[in-house]
Amino acid sequence: MQLFHKARVALLALAGIGGLMLSGCGGGSTAGQDPSVSDATEEPQVQALAYTVVPGELVHNGRFADGLASWTVSDAVLVPSEVRTGGKALNVGWQAVQKFGSVDLAPRKAYTLLVKARNEKTTGTTQVAVRFHRPVGNETFRTYKLTVASNAYQDYSLSFTTPEYVGLADITITANGTRTIIDSVSLTMREALVQTEPITSTVGSYVPAGYVLAFNDEFRGTTLNRAKWATRYIYGGETQDRLNDEQQRYTDNNTQTVAGGVLTLTARKVSSTDPAGINYESGMIRSLWTSRYGFYQARVKMPGGIGVWPGFWLNSDVSAEGRLGWPPEIDIAEFVNNGVEDKVNMLHSNVKLNPGTSSTLTYADPAFNTTWTAYQAPFNFNDDWHTIGAEWDPTSVTLYVDGKKIYTRSYAWTYADGTLAGPAHILLNFAIGGAWAGRHGIDDSAFPQGLQIDWVRAYQRVN
């Protein structure tokens, strides 16, 4: 999704061709079924995670008995505790930070943050965040946070799983519009957090043998689960809101809505005069859960307007050494509708290669065009629900559409120097325009429109 499309655009410019006419057999039999309907097909068991919990308090001076020791503060002062006789608390007007040592936290383990606090005013809020930084530029790449919103003392709790790199982490307390009294802060290791939830429908699901469920979201609530998903790219301190020459920015302006068991990433036009032509806003999700290898699938209904560019893909997260590099990238599905070369019955899928490497197709369905890396289906992807999946192992990637095998190609998940890349996070996004999707314009009359997602599931091999 990131940069691969530039090669596609260059080929189009050279070839100047129209739509591709490919042959192929039909897709799966589950298209058209409502996402709320369940069937009796049994899903693989849930993956069981376990480790030895190391006891002990990880916050130094969490009750401020030693004054400001271990804390770096800006506009924050010690005050008598209002709930512990003879104790001390911290009154924060701006910020207080405690940094962890490189071995204080363990990678891929779960922790619980506990904070007892109150705001001085009924207006304003305070954010308490656990942040993980990269060594280069000290940019954050993972943030877990809770909000203190009451002027009465409350116990706030936040549980999270650490990423693969934990060498630079901190707790940051930031007041906004009110001073906040922090009576105590605690952080302890806990048992593994469950990354799965009950599967409510197996309609459209196809999972190869030998896999167990490791992560999923069925979108059965009323809001996006922010414990599972971020809504920006990992780059730029988790704030990057577009890539390439896309003509949208990703926002939180009701661009990720959950209702009726479906997540909708909504795109709408918000301007006609942006100097850079970025006249749209849209939604995206990026999983905080990461893994290498497995089977990944999502059941989606695509938008259909000219100029749309939804994607379902895997991108490298930060490695155990604190490295954030690109490639690698697996584009499970890119749905581009420019109305001429790329239409609503086509689905692009490929991998991003490092310089000097190659990917060999060992199987390709007759309806998969190897030049344009596109599957031409006997249906339109915006007319119905379809399940798109990818099986990924250390040497290959295999694409499935509605359980139908489309291709298998070789691939190594490495950086340019050949070393193993960081684990992958899952991305689903709804991009607009650019030289590929917007090659023949954008149909503004189709907005607002949405990429609908019934569920997202990831599986890992047994043992």
Kindly state the average pLDDT of the residues 259-266. 98
The pTM for the full model equals 0.91
Q: Check pLDDT > 90 for residue 344.
A: yes
pLDDT for the residue 22: 26
Kindly state the average pLDDT of the residues 387-408. 98
pLDDT tens digits, residue range 108-132? 999 999 999 999 999 999 999 999 9
2 vs 217, residue with greater confidence: 217
Q: Say whether 72-190 and 5-48+195-461 share the same fold.
A: yes
Domain segments of the chain as ranges: 5-48+195-461, 72-190
pLDDT for the residue 44: 66
Q: Which of 9-13, 235-239, 410-414, 455-459 has the lowest mean pLDDT?
A: 9-13
Q: Check pLDDT > 70 for residue 316.
A: yes
Mean pLDDT for all residues in the chain: 91
| In the chain, % of residues over pLDDT 70 | 90
41 pLDDT tier (thresholds 50, 70, 90): very low
Which CATH architecture fits 5-48+195-461?
Answer: Sandwich (2.60)
pLDDT for the residue 43: 62
77's tokens: 């002062």
Kindly state the average pLDDT of the residues 330-354. 97
Kindly state the average pLDDT of the residues 317-340. 97
Kindly state the average pLDDT of the residues 289-308. 98
Q: Check pLDDT > 90 for residue 356.
A: yes
24 pLDDT tier (thresholds 50, 70, 90): very low
| CATH T-level assignment (fold) for domain 72-190 | Jelly Rolls (2.60.120)
Q: Check pLDDT > 60 for residue 369.
A: yes
27 pLDDT tier (thresholds 50, 70, 90): very low
Q: Check pLDDT > 50 for residue 40.
A: no
463 pLDDT tier (thresholds 50, 70, 90): confident
23 pLDDT tier (thresholds 50, 70, 90): very low
pLDDT for the residue 133: 98
